[in-house]
Structure 1
Amino acid sequence: MSAETPGESAGNFDRLRLRFRDWRGTRPFWAGLFTLLGGIPIAYFPYATLKLGHMSLAMATTAGAGSLIIGVLLVTLGLTMWFQSATRVFAGVAAILLALVSLVVSNIGGFLIGFLLALVGGALALSWAPGRPQDEAPGEHGGSDAPTAHGATGDLPEDHVAERHYPAPSFEKHDGGEADGVRAAVHDGGHRVG
């Protein structure tokens, strides 16, 4: 008989689910998943033998090795996005480039399935940015670039920055007092008619 009760096993499942959700939230999970799934049809279709009744259909091409390399690289890039999220930009650009190359090399990118999955995965990797930890307040920054109390005047928050006033343009005096009237109107904010 088992020492675990049903309530404890449900607690373990919830704990594992929450741990997975925390792990997933700290990395470009969906980008890695789409990239990894995009590599599978690209590598699979050139070596697959499909059976339609008594007829077998082989998709083998002379570029089968190229398809296998592209597929394996896309799977590797998907795993890299998961476990080395600091290299997400490189992995995203490489996934997009490999997806584009697969259009020519690998049966139209694994019949467009692998191409679209890898393209979306690469784009998601490029657009993903690490979030702020939940225990940190919105106004706080937890890094070396955090503003200090002794910061320069350029470090003021946006709502404390005063409007900049630029000097009025200067006009040269040409024939008579016409320029003086324009200059006076400019200095008064444009209210004087001249």
Structure 2
Amino acid sequence: MSAESTATGQNEHFLRVFRRRFHDWRGQRPFWAGLFTLLGGIPIAYFPYASLSLGDLSISMATTAGAGSLIIGVLLVTLGLTMWFHHIVRVFAGVASILLALISLPIANLGGFVVGFLLALVGGGMSLSWVPGEPLSAEDAVVAPGAAEGGRTSGR
């Protein structure tokens, strides 16, 4: 292995490359807001159609508002994916997910037994508060003398 091959990244392990690219992708959008919103939609859509069997006893949570719960859950999952892939509309997606989370309380079994409600509410709030970072200017891109060593300067 030569110094040239390691400098260009040719022999870099593919997991390291994937992790670095994912980290860069995640930093350019409200990733955690989208994840919370997406995870909030799953219990809201799932619980009205779930059936639990305890021996011979079958418990079903099917209600007349099952279609409304399904629509709210699917919309929350869609809004979570929208936050990831179209971060320009993050304010709309945040407001819509907060409103859908509030609407899910009376319609969808207390918002997926409060779990989906809280996840969607937190995700919507995080989407509203996320702001894209500003790119580095030419002056900021210049490396400080001690920054090449991880920010540590030697005491010599």
TM range (shorter): 0.7 to 0.9
Match of 1:49 in 2: 51
Match of 2:123 in 1: 121
1:152-179 Cα deviation digits (max 9, x unpaired): xxxxxxxxxxxxxxxxxxxxxxxxxxxx
Match of 1:95 in 2: 97
Return the letter of the residue paired with 1:50: L
Matched, 1:81 2:79: no
Which secondary structure does the structure 2 equivalent of 1:56 belong to? Answer: strand
Deviation of 1:11 (Å): 1.0
Which secondary structure does the structure 1 equivalent of 2:52 belong to? Answer: strand
Of 127-136 and 107-116, more deviation after overlay is shown by 127-136
Matched, 1:67 2:69: yes
Give the 5 Å matches for 1:12-31.
12-31=14-33
Deviation of 1:9 (Å): 8.8
Aligned equivalents of 2:83, 2:51: Cα separation in 1: 31
Identity across the alignment (%): 69
Give the 5 Å matches for 1:117-156.
117-134=119-136, 137=139
Deviation of 1:132 (Å): 1.8
Aligned equivalents of 1:97, 1:10: Cα separation in 2: 45
Of 90-99 and 53-62, more deviation after overlay is shown by 53-62
Which secondary structure does the structure 2 equivalent of 1:51 belong to? Answer: strand
Deviation of 1:52 (Å): 2.1
Change over 3 Å in CA distance of 1:134–1:11 after alignment to 2? farther
Deviation of 1:54 (Å): 2.5
TM-score (norm 1): 0.65
Deviation of 1:93 (Å): 0.3
Cα RMSD, aligned residues only: 1.9
Aligned equivalents of 2:132, 2:109: Cα separation in 1: 36
Higher helix share: 2
Aligned equivalents of 2:20, 2:13: Cα separation in 1: 11
Change over 3 Å in CA distance of 1:120–1:9 after alignment to 2? farther
Deviation of 1:136 (Å): 5.2
Matched, 1:110 2:104: no
Return the letter of the residue paired with 1:83: F
Structure 1 runs (4+) greater than 4 angstroms displaced: 134-138
How many residue pairs match? The answer is 132
